[in-house]
Amino acid sequence: MQLAEFQRRIERIYFDRDNARGVGGTFMWFTEEVGELATALRQGAAKQELADEFADVLAWLCTLASISGVELEEAVGKYADGCPGCGKTPCECSEKA
């Protein structure tokens, strides 16, 4: 599944509810999911549990983008030519950048 297709699917499933909640409330749910992913990573969770948490984070990111009017597939074009800072692949920016 392509990123745009996934974003449309998440919209079909959740857009009305998430849009009604607004960006602030939806962002709170997103950060909760990021926290769950952090916990799973820290605890060395099994691959499937990690995959589920990554999927949840991506779904909430998609819904945040949708209610903000952002197409993620277009947004990721920022990285099409490599690092946005130095333009290289791999990145040659200093760690402090």
Confidence label for 97 from pLDDT (cuts 50, 70 and 90): low
The tally of domains found in the chain comes to 1
Does residue 63 lie within any of the structural domains?
yes
Does residue 46 lie within any of the structural domains?
yes
The first and second tokens of residue 6, run together, are 């996934």
CATH of the domain at 72: 1.10.287.1080
Residue 22: domain span: 3-79
pLDDT confidence of residue 95: 80
Does residue 54 lie within any of the structural domains?
yes
Confidence label for 2 from pLDDT (cuts 50, 70 and 90): very high
Does residue 53 lie within any of the structural domains?
yes
pLDDT confidence of residue 91: 96
Q: How far is the C-alpha of 75 from the C-alpha of 80, rounded, in Å?
A: 10
Does residue 95 lie within any of the structural domains?
no
pLDDT digits (tens, 9 = 90+) for 8-56: 999 999 999 999 999 999 999 999 999 999 999 999 999 999 999 999 9
